[in-house]
Amino acid sequence: MAPTYCCVPKSVARATVCALLSWFGREARDLPWRRTHDPYAIWVAEVMLQQTRVKTVVSYWQRWMQHLPDVTALAHARPEFLRKLWEGLGYYRRVELLQRAARIIVKQYHGRFPRQWDEILALPGVGRYTAGAISSIAYNLAVPAVDGNVSRVLRRWLGRPLGKQDALAWAVAERWVKLAARCPPVRLLRLSPSGQPADAPVCPPCSAFNQALMELGATVCLPFKPLCTVCPIQQHCAYARSPATCAGAPQRRPSSIKRRLVVWVVQRRGRYLVRQRSLQECNGGFWELPTFEIPEETSDALAPSTCKWFEPLKAKPLYQLTHHITRYRYHVQVYPAKLKGNWPAGRWLTTAQLAARPMTRLSRKVLDRLLTGRGPA
């Protein structure tokens, strides 16, 4: 049986692609990685953008490119330095895979980023979406790039149930990007240094198209409250015509999963007790204050007694905070403590040493609060 998208007239698909390209030329956000066609810079941006907001990524990307301007610099960088550059972005395995891929590029391609889609896909940490994004944005290849945002846009447009990225979304994206390849380049008006269209940078059509789909999903076709009235492709969109009955209606926001943590602050002669997480753990290679998960049902009075290595100096925590990691919502209690015996995982570091090391986001948050005096004592 032919896929549903084949029922869409070619003229409608072509008009939709043209409308999307025109909209992107007017509305594309001024992001620093849109000012380059360097595949390395685009690759770094795409990896940083996985599960991370654009406004967070901008400063990280700029700092990364300042310190590591090319593949060779990344391949030869110290892992500890890479983790420090990445500190706060989360999903830290991404940085390890970036360096593994960079070393392959240096060894197999003499430091030149590969140009073929299948060669890019073969790199560690690169999936079908990332390979498509790099291939189209850097090299203007007519290949699709379907992430969660793009899949949502296409399924709503077709009136199909929302779900994971699947064959339908990829098939539609492939058809549309091939139509886009026949269109002229797009001028990105918001990136014009003078404000004049003639000075705006030119974006090749396949690059512009895939970025336009991503941009639409990120800024207009939102997961929970889509802005259909300003959507450039609403004319033929099934969801825009009938949102109440369309299979692509917004889903409910998933509820968070509650968990509890105890963080111990142990000091000795101006040094703090910390440990480095093993490379096999989540956040491998990063440093943290002694942090332990406790059962959700544990009472506040019994929380300090859950770890045999530490004895609290106060009956009540220094302060409590909430920490979010993806769907998890952690209730965190921070206790001043003394060490009982010899904690085998521990190291004593000064504040200057801690500042120079990559730390987990929670431990950095706790230390910053302690050292700056913010929050209840």
Mean pLDDT of 7-25: 92
pLDDT at 246: 62
Instruction: Return the pLDDT at 1.
Output: 34
Give the whole-angstrom CA distance, residue 79 versus residue 358: 10
Query: Is residue 4's pLDDT more than 60?
Result: no
* Position 24 pLDDT exceeds 70: yes
pLDDT(216) > 90: yes
What pLDDT, on a 0 to 100 scale, did the predictor assign at position 376?
Answer: 39
DSSP for 192-258, written as a single string: -SSS-GGGSPEE-HHHHHHHHHHHHHHHTS-SSS--GGG-TTGGG-HHHH-TTT-TTPPPPPPPPEE
Start-end of CATH 1.10.340.30 domains in the chain: 4-241
* Whole-angstrom distance, CA of residue 374 vs CA of residue 307: 27
Ramachandran category for residue 140: left, alpha or beta (phi over 0 → left; psi -120 to 50 → alpha): left
Under the banding of pLDDT at 50, 70 and 90, the label for residue 67 is very high
Whether the CB-CB separation of 113 and 127 falls below 8 Å is answered with no
Q: What pLDDT is recorded for position 244?
A: 67
Compute the residue count for the chain: 377
Residue 221 has pLDDT above 50, yes or no: yes
**pLDDT value at 178 more than 90:** yes
Average pLDDT over residues 266-287: 89
User: CA-to-CA distance for 16 and 5, rounded, in angstroms?
Assistant: 13
Give strand pairing partners of 263: 291, 334
* pLDDT at site 2: 38
CATH number at 4-241: 1.10.340.30
Which two tokens mark 355? 């500042």
242 Cα distance to chain centroid: 32
- Map residue 118 onto helix, strand or coil: helix
What is the C-alpha to C-alpha distance for residues 112 and 114, in angstroms, rounded to an integer? 6
Residue 351 tokens read as: 């504040």
> Which residue did the predictor score with more confidence, 362 or 282?
362
Report the pLDDT value the prediction gives residue 370, as an integer from 0 to 100.
Answer: 86
CA distance 336 to 288: 15
Residue extent(s) of CATH 3.90.79.10 domains in the chain: 257-372
- Identify any residues that bridge with 328 across adjacent strands, giving them in sequence order: 257, 325
Average pLDDT over residues 169-187: 96
Q: Which residues are catalytic?
A: 46
3 state DSSP class of 335: strand
Q: Are 168 and 160 in contact (CB under 8 A)?
A: yes
For 310-369, the pLDDT digits (tens) are 888 888 888 888 888 778 888 899 999 988 877 878 889 999 999 999 999 999 999 988
What average pLDDT does range 142-171 have in this prediction? 87
Give the Cα separation of 294 and 336 in Å (integer).
17
pLDDT at position 164? 56
Q: Looking at the predicted structure, is the pLDDT value of residue 279 above 60? A: yes
pLDDT band at 3 (very low <50, low <70, confident <90, very high): very low
- What is the average pLDDT across 98-105? 98
| Of 238, 280, 261, the residue nearest 335 (C-alpha) | 261
pTM, entire model:
0.85
Is residue 266 pLDDT above 90, yes or no? yes
Segment 295-304 mean pLDDT: 76
Query: Cβ distance 104 to 71 under 8 Å?
Result: no
Fold entry, domain 257-372: Nucleoside Triphosphate Pyrophosphohydrolase (3.90.79)
Is a pLDDT exceeding 90 seen at residue 146? yes
Q: What percent of the chain has pLDDT over 70?
A: 93
Query: What is the mean predicted confidence (pLDDT) over 162-185?
Result: 88
- The Cα–Cα gap between 38 and 74 comes to 15
- For the cut 60, the answer to whether the pLDDT of residue 80 exceeds it is yes
